[in-house]
Amino acid sequence: MIRIQADAARQSGKDRNATLLFDLVRRLAPISRAELAKTSGLSPATVTVLVDELLQGGWLVELGVSASEERRGRRPVNLAINARRGAVATLEITGGGYILSVYDICLGKLAHHDGVMDERAQGGHLVALVQQAVGQLHGAVDAEAEARCFRQYDLHSCHRPSCKSF
């Protein structure tokens, strides 16, 4: 299993190479395996093995065959970050309420909720308000993450089993 970590000193060589590929896909998507091999300096075989593990782990998605220029041989399959792999929520407590925002793993904003709370709200009441807001945002986050991926890469449909067709 590959571990994507920010702390490069604690990573094995394999994990470090996988993190390199993940970062390249994040910055350059859509990108093919062949382009990853050229850009990273890793061998095509190493890129294939690591990309397959990143796909199995849900970190990357295949966008389908590239509609690139006329060429011989098999057309490359483009890759992108799986925005639905994870999310991070931020909570800002303000003078009269709170702001809850949810971002995908590429830091694209998925949802936002402004809540009002009176000055007596404490502990359990605040937790209940945030839980209610999270429940309201849950469905919107899933739909927005998937739609954002399709808009970002100008896709009309995906023919992979891991994708839903729009």
HSE toward the beta carbon, residue 7, CA cutoff 13 A:
2
Token pair of 29, please? 């998507």
- Residue 37: which residues within 8 A CB-CB, separation 6 or more? 43, 44, 46, 47
Mean pLDDT, consecutive 10-residue stretches, the chain (166 aa), reads 58 88 93 96 96 95 73 83 84 83 83 77 69 70 60 49 38
Token pair of 102, please? 């949810």
**Which amino acid belongs to residue 165?**
S
Q: Is the pTM of this model over 0.85?
A: no
What's the first-to-final CA gap in the chain, in angstroms? 32
Tell me, what's the pLDDT at 123?
66
Closest by Cα among 47, 50, 20 to 33: 47
Residue 14 carries which DSSP code? Answer: H
